[in-house]
Structure 1
Amino acid sequence: MFGKLRNWLGFEQTLVDVPVEMWTRVEARLPFLDYLEPDDRARLRLMARQLLAEKQFHGAQGMELSDEIMLGIALQACLPVLNIGLQAYRGWVGIIVYPGDFVIPRHEMDEDGVVHEYDDEVLGEAWEGGPVIVSWFDDGGTPAPDGVNVVIHEFAHKLDMENGGVDGLPPLPAHMSRRDWATAFTAAYDALCEQVDSGAEPVLDPYASEHPGEFFAVASEVFFEQPGYLRSVFPAVYAQLSAYYGLDPAAGEARCLRQTSTLPS
């Protein structure tokens, strides 16, 4: 349905109609969307429909993309830009979906000028000026623990790339301070690296210690999926992300927990 209704020739694009039953099925697999206020939830749905009209989805390795897969990706991709706007994703059109993790050939030169070639097994990849590549698994998502979200991770990289490269510092709105951002993120990143280097159990996915850009992307995943946890381990980072994304998902998570605790047993 979605593919047939798109217009890729530059004319006015048509927003797809999504049946109520499909919203229910897809959103049931994304419980962290319950942390949004009702008005924000409605805006997210509209933005997801807009993204479906603007971007081209492609299945890799013969993967057939269902409407539910594309809608699930669109909802997660739009969550970080709900209050930033889809213009943050301008300049590229492709979203490539693999049936599971995939391998990317890498070529790296060491300090001695020796080129090393290897295959890197990944769940996603975002290219500056190019497509976003994500994995999708048969269970309707990724085989990941709570707080890990490959779609949010890769689209956070796209936000980071807006001002060139991936350095963990996306373009900030006027009301935010680069100094405050750097202070919060540098302290948290250094603390995580120390945990990883010492062999202690890291409070975030150790992949976040690879680079400040990866720390921002991983922190963004946890911000949306486990916001109360992120606020407890890195409160300054949570505060910066809350100001940047214009959302307070920890409050929504607390509300959902209260509602669950009052349900009759």
Structure 2
Amino acid sequence: MLTQIKRWLWPAVIPTVSEADWRAVERTLPCLNHLDHAEREALRALALAFLDRKVFSGAQGFEPDNAARLSIALQACLLVLKLGLHAYDGWEGVIVYPPGGFMIPQRRQDAAGVVHEYEQEALGQAWDDGPVLLTWADDPTRDAGINVVIHEFAHKLDMLDGHVDGRPPLPPGIRPEAWRHSFSRAYADFCARADSGLPLFMDAYAAEDPGEFFAMCCEVFFCKPVPLRAHYPDVYALLCGYFQQRPLPEPPPPG
């Protein structure tokens, strides 16, 4: 894979991004719509710091332009707007593939102990203590509720305790037992719905394991929050507390 990658290093001195450039990229990201002016300014500052710390590489002949890098940085930093950029310490690579996905090697052992090796198409992949691999979405608004950047960077947050299990290190104020109970119950319900062929409000891949369920919930939390709050209000509330953001306005009090 390394022979396919063309490295692009962000300059040591970050160039000034014009207001027009910021707005042009932000208009393509409806996941930012809930932010107020102060939060948008803070997100821009985080995005520039992210670009200063991370190494962007293009793969398979694709070279992300300035707008693509800025878009990825904004989406990645949305997750850590209140958590802090230190949550992304310990690794530096962001590898961007052209639209359409890429193949990753897989190795699984079946119930009989036979090891199967194969390749699987993916839109993204996060490596523990390693890079984030992303397929560039030239139109992030095309598939509502699907956001590969948010998905893979949610995995990075989940990996902070060394496990990809849907239980990232939690900020003060969120009880681990409440997180486990609500996410476990929602995951079991989603798996049952998927197995029964019932309509799903997010991709069935969320039933793969609790880690994928968490990452998919993060996607819809920012990109399609209405059905998440409707189906799993406890999960939505926990993610509001975890990210310290509210994509939806608070409902009016009853009566």
Q: C-alpha separation between the residues in 2 aligned to 1:39 and 1:229?
A: 27
Matches within 5 A, 1:13-92: 14-92=13-91
Judging changes above 3 Å, is the alpha-carbon distance between structure 1 residues 183 and 5 closer, same or farther for their aligned structure 2 residues?
A: closer
Counterpart secondary structure, 1:35: coil
Give the letter for the 1:81 counterpart.
V
Identity level (%): 48
Q: Structure 1 residue 24: deviation in Å?
A: 1.4
Judging changes above 3 Å, is the alpha-carbon distance between structure 1 residues 60 and 23 closer, same or farther for their aligned structure 2 residues?
A: same
Q: Structure 1 residue 118: deviation in Å?
A: 1.3
Partner of 1:198: 196
Partner of 1:168: 166
Q: Structure 1 residue 113: deviation in Å?
A: 2.0
Aligned-CA RMSD value: 1.6
Moved over 6 A (4+): none
Q: Structure 1 residue 181: deviation in Å?
A: 0.5
Please, which moves more after superposition, 67-76 or 57-66? 57-66
Judging changes above 3 Å, is the alpha-carbon distance between structure 1 residues 119 and 129 closer, same or farther for their aligned structure 2 residues?
A: same
Give the letter for the 1:36 counterpart.
L
Give the letter for the 1:74 counterpart.
A
Give the letter for the 1:251 counterpart.
P
Partner of 2:124: 124
Counterpart secondary structure, 2:82: coil
Alignment equivalent of 1:150, drawn from 148, 159, 163: 148
Unmatched 5+ stretches in structure 1:
8-13, 255-265
Q: Give yes or no for contact 1:128–1:165 (8 Å, CA) kept in 2.
A: no
Partner of 1:6: 11
Q: Structure 1 residue 240: deviation in Å?
A: 0.3
Partner of 2:228: 230
Scaled by the length of structure 2, what TM-score is found?
0.91
Counterpart secondary structure, 2:33: helix
Q: C-alpha separation between the residues in 1 aligned to 2:224 and 2:10?
A: 35
* Residue deviations 1:156-206 (CA, integer Å, cap 9, x gap): 000000001200000001211001101110111000000011111123211
Q: Give yes or no for contact 2:43–2:74 (8 Å, CA) kept in 1.
A: yes
Partner of 2:242: 244
Richer in helix (by share): 1
Q: C-alpha separation between the residues in 2 aligned to 1:111 and 1:129?
A: 30
Give the letter for the 1:71 counterpart.
L
Counterpart secondary structure, 1:202: coil
Give the length in aligned residue pairs.
Answer: 243
Q: Structure 1 residue 6: deviation in Å?
A: 2.5
* Residue deviations 1:107-150 (CA, integer Å, cap 9, x gap): 2222222111111000000000000001014x3448x5211100
* Residue deviations 1:16-63 (CA, integer Å, cap 9, x gap): 311111111111110221211111111001100000000000000111
Q: Give yes or no for contact 1:105–1:118 (8 Å, CA) kept in 2.
A: yes
Partner of 2:185: 187
Q: Give yes or no for contact 2:10–2:56 (8 Å, CA) kept in 1.
A: no
